[in-house]
Amino acid sequence: MKYNYTAVDASSATLQVIVNGMETNLTNIKTLYGQLMADFSGAGAEGYSTVMTTLQNKMDAYDTTLQQVKNAIATTAASDGLMKITDGNQGNKFLSIGM
């Protein structure tokens, strides 16, 4: 199997742009969350607070997953990542045939 590292790097860069956009969206939602929590008061605020706590927990889990995706892309798919190391290791096995 032959890897096209240029294409892999291009795909990795595209994935990073997508993940960065997702992080920006999450930051915007967290900012809005904070603004709403600061401005909301009264009896309705108690119910809102419960719902927003649930949302905050889900956003934290989402953020953790995004960080894991970014790390996986960086360590695996880049032309200097685990994919290239594995490719090299597999290719080196042919050197031991000794023809």
**Contact present, 9 and 79 (Cβ < 8 Å):** yes
Nearest-angstrom CA–CA distance, 37 and 87: 51
In total, the chain counts a number of residues equal to 99
Backbone angles phi, psi at 2, to 5 degrees: -110, 130
> What are the residue ranges spanned by the domains of the chain?
5-96
Nearest-angstrom CA–CA distance, 33 and 39: 10
**Triad 72, 76, 79: Cα angle to 5°:** 135
- Render each residue's pLDDT in the chain as its tens digit; 99 residues: 677 778 888 888 899 899 999 999 999 998 988 888 778 777 777 778 888 889 889 999 999 999 999 888 888 876 677 777 777 777 777 777 766
